[in-house]
Structure 1
């Protein structure tokens, strides 16, 4: 592996000269051209982390994610990583297992590691979150959640919920089961749910039963196995595709045919919803676009530029085999 020492020896200059060149410091034009050729020929890749530790302004972005098995977070992370690499930034990822206290600890921890900024996939936003963000004094952007006076990039959760609710009633369904997540989650537990319920209310005589379900697939599956045998609804709306997949597995286990016994839909647009049978009706979210905007906005903040406090992304209803008309 080529080092700064190797570059310096080959160029016949001091190591400090190579370091200044790599960090954009003052180097003569002749030396700059010579070093540029050597770096290109050797394929030298600077150690961004080591450089950042010495610099006042680092080239590392911290990202706090809720779960390692989150499809949505991983899709956004792929886009973020790609965008940051193009701008010569590195990504440092911290997992919190949906623990809000660990989220707060991670904000302080990443700041102590001199990251330039933080992209936070928060489960909830508490006063402690707001205090931590104010304390660290570096740019922080919320992804998927929003809070007053904080920068955020969110999906149009209400619209997504309304789309599913409207589609379900259009198919003639009146008896619904809504499998929701914990209410403290504003984006999914509140806004998405409100969109669904408001759409369902537009149809007279519609009834909705609500049950809180885990985000994680295995826990959701175990919960649904107990729920499904007594379900009377003709349409089950799941707050996430993960929950919808758990319902699909449980229905198969219990020999309940979808959509003949009940229709099923989720939210997210996970790729696996197009692979299973029946394919699952869902609302597809713009995960890659979210990552692209997150990188763009954070780098603008680092440059001292102004960005919108809140950016809202559109979504799209995807009609698949798990839903049908109800007579």
Structure 2
């Protein structure tokens, strides 16, 4: 039977180096490749059950996310899985639907199964509690959302800056009644994207030349909280369109709600960019939307890959201060935010319309 010592001899490294490679520890790429090649040539397969009993942990890592149906989390999960499969670890996917009870059950399962580590996108900023895992020595990495008060490594996106950039873009394109449909209260991503919206709008109202009187009411009247799902975005947009002075643009704080927004806009007989629509997060079929959808693009795959890297380092016993990695988003400009004048011109090119028919 091939042993770890045989692999070490064939690769020209120590048995400890072989162990680090098999357990996802840090070694040079060249040494890791030599170890993997030697293991493959010798047909070496580590006894995972025995190793689990010796180390009192399994070869599983948990990934706890709120919505696997959201393409953002699908890409994030792929990033985690691609990083983990290069080691001896397998990923267990847990979908909470943003429900704290389901999240707690999955955290309990991680403990019961002696998982090697857990990556979690918290269901609640203030109520998600990972302390039970930490007290048992199970490493935890927060991804996309960090539970308040939790001392864990984290991989995040600068959500506030992304929300501010989105709102500033709409204002720069000539929209003035800019609404924001954000996620559930108490969710860090929803709160931070809303904070960015508020900041950009307030800066425009304070500094922008000729801001119309009374526009500060936008900070109250044109904000809606929804559920980060298509149905929630649709309901919130329908409600906004029913206002006496309906918005002329909307910043949807996630990709699925943007789909619902587009549905509601078109059901009302309108088309972007007459009403500007901007999505935080990519929609996989955005290229098929006409006119092209403007999005805040988020590096979701890299979020997952980076989070897995931090977790594997902790599992391997890396001792260093807690790390927070913040990835940047970018604005991908499409025609759905071309400006209200552009939208009206587009509408009038399709039919004869007098100024009195302006639906705004």
Return the TM-score normalized by structure 1: 0.82
Structure 1 residue 28: Cα displacement: 10
Which residue in the other structure is 2:347 paired with?
none
Q: How does 1:150-169 map to 2 (within 5 A)?
A: 150-169=152-171
- C-alpha separation between the residues in 1 aligned to 2:8 and 2:133? 42
Which residue in the other structure is 1:11 paired with?
none
Unaligned runs of 5+ in 1: 1-16, 31-35
Structure 1 residue 119: Cα displacement: 0.4
Unaligned runs of 5+ in 2: 11-35, 206-210, 342-360
Give secondary structure in 2 for the equivalent of 1:137: coil
Residues 229-262 of structure 1, C-alpha deviation per residue, up to 9 Å, x if partnerless? 44611111111121111111222233211112x1
Q: Is the 8 A contact 1:80 1:295 kept in 2?
A: yes
Residue 210 of structure 2 is aligned to residue 186 of structure 1: no
Which residue in the other structure is 2:272 paired with?
258
Give secondary structure in 1 for the equivalent of 2:204: coil
Q: Is the 8 A contact 1:158 1:195 kept in 2?
A: yes
Which residue in the other structure is 2:124 paired with?
124
Structure 1 residue 68: Cα displacement: 2.5
Structure 1 residue 52: Cα displacement: 5.8
Which residue in the other structure is 1:284 paired with?
297
- C-alpha separation between the residues in 2 aligned to 1:236 and 1:81? 35
* Aligned residue among 291, 302, 310 for 2:315: 302
Residues 8-58 of structure 1, C-alpha deviation per residue, up to 9 Å, x if partnerless? xxxxxxxxx45xx3xx3689969xxxxx9998589887785x456544243
Shifted more, 206-215 versus 134-143: the winner is 206-215
Residues 159-196 of structure 1, C-alpha deviation per residue, up to 9 Å, x if partnerless? 10111111111112211221121220012x21111111
- C-alpha separation between the residues in 2 aligned to 1:37 and 1:123? 41
Residues 312 and 28 (structure 1), Cα distance of their counterparts in 2 relative to 1, 3 Å cut: closer
Q: How does 1:1-327 map to 2 (within 5 A)?
A: 17=1, 21=3, 24=4, 50=49, 53-56=52-55, 57-126=57-126, 129-146=129-146, 147-148=148-149, 149-187=151-189, 189-204=190-205, 205=211, 206-207=215-216, 208=218, 209-230=222-243, 232-260=246-274, 262-305=275-318, 306=320, 308-326=322-340
- C-alpha separation between the residues in 1 aligned to 2:81 and 2:192? 29
Q: Is the 8 A contact 2:134 2:140 kept in 1?
A: no
Residues 77 and 55 (structure 1), Cα distance of their counterparts in 2 relative to 1, 3 Å cut: farther
Q: Is the 8 A contact 1:52 1:60 kept in 2?
A: no
Give secondary structure in 1 for the equivalent of 2:141: strand
Which residue in the other structure is 1:10 paired with?
none
Runs ≥4 in structure 1, deviation > 4 angstroms?
25-30, 36-48, 50-53
Give secondary structure in 1 for the equivalent of 2:280: coil
Residues 26 and 108 (structure 1), Cα distance of their counterparts in 2 relative to 1, 3 Å cut: farther
Q: Is the 8 A contact 1:64 1:103 kept in 2?
A: yes
Q: How many residues align?
A: 300
- C-alpha separation between the residues in 1 aligned to 2:51 and 2:63? 16
Q: Is the 8 A contact 2:122 2:128 kept in 1?
A: no
Cα RMSD between the aligned structures? 2.9
Using CA pairs under 8 Å that are at least 6 residues apart, name the structure with larger relative contact order, 1 or 2: 2
Q: Is the 8 A contact 2:64 2:93 kept in 1?
A: yes
Give secondary structure in 1 for the equivalent of 2:184: coil
- C-alpha separation between the residues in 2 aligned to 1:237 and 1:186? 17
Residues 72 and 136 (structure 1), Cα distance of their counterparts in 2 relative to 1, 3 Å cut: farther
Residues 177 and 27 (structure 1), Cα distance of their counterparts in 2 relative to 1, 3 Å cut: closer
